[in-house]
Structure 1
């Protein structure tokens, strides 16, 4: 199909005041979006300068991989792949959570790109996307460096659950993608872990960053990118992916890609389909797009693959939530990526007797961005999100997850 944007709401000319090197812009998010694209947020605390202290080795070696508590990729041998462990926050036992770090340092100098995944522990396709990209790199032919961290939230990944199990008052569950850039002396282990990773591993080694996610357990999403298209460098990267949707939308505060942006590092968030499994078709599209980003920044040479110019891309700046008003089994009348009209019936819910308990319509015209994948729902559960073009600014609203 030919390339076109159904609802591209970005300005024709970028506002120079939105250049992240000069000031902070509005927050971004993961799969659930804020309704309005307008508005900016104040940074809760000043961001400390990136560390220039170099790499710190702890002296530990695990399975032949050295452990670091701080990393400067310039200390690593050019033209090689380096696999390390980074020492994060301590667990209740007093042992440290270790995260896996793969660095492909090119033979020639160039831009530095950081790829992250595993901020949520149930997002497998995002992890496999980053792993696949790294396995395709040949540092001897690269100019610049790519650093990958695929298990940011280690304790969540250990049980394939979305949130970090925090032993504060019994076991709390902390969403690590509301903790960035972290707090060195904060009240949660997840927040302290975020501070360590962001300030001693990620930010000091990034000129650009991409934080990969998927939908969450029980709720699937399409393959789409979310980020601030008003920022030219971010828009250029998002449009290099041959995926069907772009959410030009700031969302929840505290997400990782916004912490990068606040630190002057252009960043956005790809969403690679549903949680818990591997979607080979979507993974391939996001690998292709990420390789395009590497070529765009001169880290790799060679022709571009398919981009957004080669596929039909729907661009919206807001997401309409359809929430359950009853309990029961849900039958969907639409699929992911389907176009819908305002007032169109999209789901029927039946109670335990099989009688219709509720019917649900879209309140806007747009495209289906996400659908609940669990067959049962109770009042308040999101059943669907419809990506659409909001014609004017409105107050930000966060959605239940």
Structure 2
């Protein structure tokens, strides 16, 4: 039974597969891309001169310490001693008990002045390889040999991470699950704790300390993705960073509002999103590719010395601007006939589905020629579940698609 390529996905359901920050209609993407490109026109020649209006201009220590690490409610990395690594906790939103969600912050402050790059992970709580990637980059840095600053935040959505689940469990109107990567730039006086948490982090920690930013993700629970970057390639500063990674695919798309990298872009800060395989596991081999690419970015900005590693050119990176979703039309056991990164042709069979008797109840084909970006890793599927995503290039974006996130 053929799949139905015209079916559309609600974006909350769509990534149950995280290709962790892709999304929205192409019309919205086109508008956002133009706006982002205009916003970033000045970023190509010089970084923002200082913290944006309304942001804290100095570091604020709460007076508390946690396991010997000082707690801040606002941070300006210029206040920190150069040539050192600094380990802090940022005070986020309060819990229902009145205690705080504290976020881990590592700052490698170079001995010499230079650009500031922010590395973020843990926006979704089930994405372990992204956390490990950021930790590995920070462990390689020697501030005594650096010019500039690298700041890492590895546990943004603390309550989601505690349960190793994608969404923040919110208690506003009974139990609810909120995706923090729909909340940026947040609102310090918002209607939910995740919105306020995002506002606090963005206004007082992330935005004031970034000349460029990278928000690391993985696929979500139940869905596996290949190694790729989500990046608006029409913006030169973003294109330059994304191409420095030795990964096989780039999704050339700005995606929809509410994701963290777009909040940075709207603030005039070039940013993009790497995607690092499956959720809830530690893929060391894939993470190493993104460590290498991130070190290339830091060399690109002159923050760390040394020759460039491998880049997208070395691995023949495939670039597409659209993702074709193949959705389950039946319930049953799914057998994939292609692998991640495989090239497929239009009409090629990519999966079959069997019922409890072992009989084939559905066959699924690709409606486009492209490369496999994501596959359902849970063996069972019900109608509407995404089974496969095909990255491809559409000459004219018509606004009729929903993209994975």
Partners of 1:176 and 1:252 lie apart in 2 by 14
Number of residues of Structure 1 aligned to a counterpart in Structure 2: 370
Q: Deviations over 1:268-292 (max 9, x none)?
A: 0000111111111111100000000
Whether 1:177 aligns to 2:181 is yes
Partners of 2:255 and 2:377 lie apart in 1 by 22
Question: 1:276 maps to which residue?
Answer: 280
Whether 1:39 aligns to 2:43 is no
Aligned-partner SS, 1:294 = helix
Partners of 1:308 and 1:358 lie apart in 2 by 37
- 2:347–2:368 CA contact under 8 A, matched in 1: yes
Q: CA deviation at 1:202?
A: 0.3
Whether 1:398 aligns to 2:388 is no
- 2:372–2:390 CA contact under 8 A, matched in 1: yes
Q: CA deviation at 1:30?
A: 2.9
Question: 1:359 maps to which residue?
Answer: 363
Q: Deviations over 1:20-67 (max 9, x none)?
A: xxxxxxxxx835444637521489xxx962525300000001111000
Q: CA deviation at 1:312?
A: 1.4
Whether 1:299 aligns to 2:299 is no
- 1:34–1:249 CA contact under 8 A, matched in 2: no
Give structure 1 stretches of 5+ with no counterpart.
Answer: 1-28
Question: 1:6 maps to which residue?
Answer: none
Partners of 1:325 and 1:203 lie apart in 2 by 43
Whether 1:214 aligns to 2:205 is no
- 2:72–2:88 CA contact under 8 A, matched in 1: yes
Q: CA deviation at 1:398?
A: 2.7
1:159 pairs with 147, 159, 163, which one? 163
Partners of 1:34 and 1:355 lie apart in 2 by 36
Aligned counterparts, 1:57-68, within 5 A: 57-68=61-72
Bigger mean CA deviation after superposition, 232-241 or 245-254 = 245-254
- Cα RMSD after superposing both structures: 1.6
Question: 1:195 maps to which residue?
Answer: 199
Partners of 2:125 and 2:54 lie apart in 1 by 27
Aligned-partner SS, 1:363 = coil
Aligned counterparts, 1:246-325, within 5 A: 246-325=250-329
Whether 1:245 aligns to 2:249 is yes
- 1:113–1:209 CA contact under 8 A, matched in 2: yes
- 1:87–1:99 CA contact under 8 A, matched in 2: yes
Q: CA deviation at 1:187?
A: 1.2
Question: 1:343 maps to which residue?
Answer: 347
Question: 2:117 maps to which residue?
Answer: 113
Give structure 2 stretches of 5+ with no counterpart.
Answer: 1-18, 37-50
Aligned counterparts, 1:42-191, within 5 A: 49=53, 51-191=55-195
Q: CA deviation at 1:400?
A: 7.4
Q: Deviations over 1:79-107 (max 9, x none)?
A: 00000000000011110100000000000
Q: Deviations over 1:273-330 (max 9, x none)?
A: 1111111111110000000000000001110111112111110000000000000000
Partners of 1:187 and 1:346 lie apart in 2 by 43
Higher helix proportion (structure 1 or 2): 2
Partners of 1:252 and 1:379 lie apart in 2 by 25
Question: 2:338 maps to which residue?
Answer: 334
1:369 pairs with 350, 370, 373, which one? 373
Aligned-partner SS, 1:40 = helix
- 1:212–1:269 CA contact under 8 A, matched in 2: yes
Partners of 1:36 and 1:237 lie apart in 2 by 23
1:227 pairs with 225, 228, 231, which one? 231
- 2:329–2:382 CA contact under 8 A, matched in 1: yes
Aligned-partner SS, 1:278 = coil
Question: 2:10 maps to which residue?
Answer: none
Aligned-partner SS, 1:281 = helix
